[in-house]
């Protein structure tokens, strides 16, 4: 049986299910015949949006709630065969401004979820969304999983703690956990309302609006980008592969400079321009220079590699927002995520 066939009629939970990666994963799981439950706490200014799952109404179960609440966590994990744990905040800037919020969203809530799973669903597979931000400034390139972890911001520290909770629950209790350390994921359904959750969504927003994309410094900082369909594929492989249990995997891609990425966005959108500007002090303090990751371990253990080249991947994203940008530029209304009919 292939890893895709594994999900037919399988009960699966996605935390952060209304967000960028969670909603794309939900669409893929539904298409594979899984029985999908989504939970999201609608944390303000994060990536959730009711439009992300509007076409899944009647095909998934939606719970508006917080995995940091023990009773809620026990209720949603009960009966699940696989838990894709994508909840949390990914904003480096917000984590420095609101460190206790970030601690709650990216550390404590995940400990509550794991304890709930240990109590009521200990055989579930749990796939956690980690981040390359855990590494901090790279000592060598490409960064592999043996690289030391020395985060540059509160978000990286809390994400590292969240990952270690998953690893400890595997070591101490034999739970089937693993972590995928994500780099710069991009694609349809990504947050584009503000620039605090990654540069790619903001670059695309400015390009489709015909605005000037500002790139800090000389724009030669290199990053690796991975398109959302490839990231979803990695989660599906990890959730169906016994060899993943207890391990961490980078989801790296081919590096490109920020200036190249910005110029490509403008070219594909057919409007806008690019301007180099000095580093703001707030961002300069947490910038880590060039960083891109090796995906050799994921290739060997999961059979995964990124398949989508940057140009067609960005074109797909830009086309999506040229069609639906009016929806995604607006702040979502929590009332629109009400659960009647789900």
For residue 336, give the 3-state DSSP assignment. Answer: helix
Domain at 256, CATH number: 3.40.50.720
- Asked whether the beta carbons of 181 and 131 are under 8 A apart, the reply is yes
**Burial class of 168 by CB neighbour count within 10 A (0 to 12, 13 to 18, 19+):** middle
Q: Which helix (H) or strand (E) covers residue 94, if one does?
A: helix 92-97
- Per-residue H/E/C for 59-100: CCEEEECCCCCHHHHHHHHCCCCEEEECCCCCCHHHHHHCHH
* Phi, psi of 41, rounded to the nearest 5 degrees: -100, 5
Q: How many domains does the chain have?
A: 1
Q: Per residue in 138-175, pLDDT tens? A: 999 999 999 999 999 999 999 999 999 999 999 999 99
- Asked whether the beta carbons of 40 and 87 are under 8 A apart, the reply is yes
Distance CA 214, CA 224 (A): 19
Query: CA–CA distance from 336 to each of 6, 13, 19, 49, 205 (Å)?
Result: 33, 21, 14, 9, 23
Q: Per residue in 43-54, pLDDT tens? A: 988 999 999 999
Position 238 in a domain: yes
Name residues of the chain where pLDDT drops below 70. Answer: 285-286, 339-342
Looking up tokens 């639906």 gives 324
Containing structural domain, residue 119: 5-337
In sequence order, the β-bridge partners of residue 13 are 37, 83
Looking up tokens 């080249």 gives 309
- Asked whether the beta carbons of 252 and 18 are under 8 A apart, the reply is no
- What is the distance in angstroms between the CA of the first residue and the CA of the last residue of the chain? 31
pLDDT for the residue numbered 15: 98
Looking up tokens 């200990």 gives 122
Handedness of CA 219, 223, 229, 231 (dihedral sign): negative
pLDDT for the residue numbered 51: 97
Position 174 in a domain: yes
Position 239 in a domain: yes
pLDDT for the residue numbered 341: 59
Give pTM, 2 decimals. Answer: 0.96
Query: CA–CA distance from 263 to each of 204, 224, 256 (Å)?
Result: 11, 16, 11
For residue 39, give the 3-state DSSP assignment. Answer: strand
């Amino acid at each position: 049986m292939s890893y895709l066939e594994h999900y037919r009629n399988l009960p699966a939970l996605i935390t952060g299910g209304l967000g960028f990666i969670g909603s794309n994963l939900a669409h893929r799981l539904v298409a594979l015949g899984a029985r999908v439950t989504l939970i999201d706490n609608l944390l303000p200014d994060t990536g959730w949006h009711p439009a992300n799952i509007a076409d899944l109404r009647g095909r998934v179960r939606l719970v508006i709630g917080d995995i940091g609440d023990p009773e809620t966590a026990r209720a949603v994990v009960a009966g699940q065969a696989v838990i894709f744990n994508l909840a949390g905040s990914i904003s480096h800037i917000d984590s420095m401004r609101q460190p206790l919020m970030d601690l709650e969203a990216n550390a404590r809530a995940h400990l509550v979820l794991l304890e709930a799973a240990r109590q009521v669903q200990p055989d579930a597979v749990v796939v956690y969304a980690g981040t390359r931000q855990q590494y901090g400034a790279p000592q060598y390139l490409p960064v592999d999983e043996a690289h030391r972890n020395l985060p540059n911001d509160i978000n990286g520290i809390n994400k590292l703690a969240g990952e270690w909770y998953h690893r400890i629950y595997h070591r101490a209790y034999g739970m089937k956990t693993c972590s995928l350390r994500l780099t710069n994921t991009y694609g349809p359904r990504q947050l584009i309302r503000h620039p605090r959750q990654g540069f790619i969504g903001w670059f695309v927003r400015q390009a489709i609006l015909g605005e000037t994309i500002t790139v800090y410094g000389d724009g030669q900082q290199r990053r690796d980008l991975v398109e959302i369909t490839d990231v979803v594929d990695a989660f599906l492989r990890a959730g169906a592969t016994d060899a993943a249990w207890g391990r961490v995997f980078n989801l790296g891609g081919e590096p490109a400079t920020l200036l190249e990425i910005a110029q490509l966005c403008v070219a594909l959108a057919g409007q806008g321009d690019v301007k180099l500007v000095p580093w703001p002090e707030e961002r300069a303090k947490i910038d880590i220079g060039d960083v891109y990751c090796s995906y050799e371990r994921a290739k060997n253990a999961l059979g995964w590699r990124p398949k989508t080249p940057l140009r067609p991947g960005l074109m797909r994203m830009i086309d999506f927002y040229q069609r639906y940008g009016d929806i995604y530029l607006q702040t979502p209304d929590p009332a629109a995520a009400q659960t009647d009919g789900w």
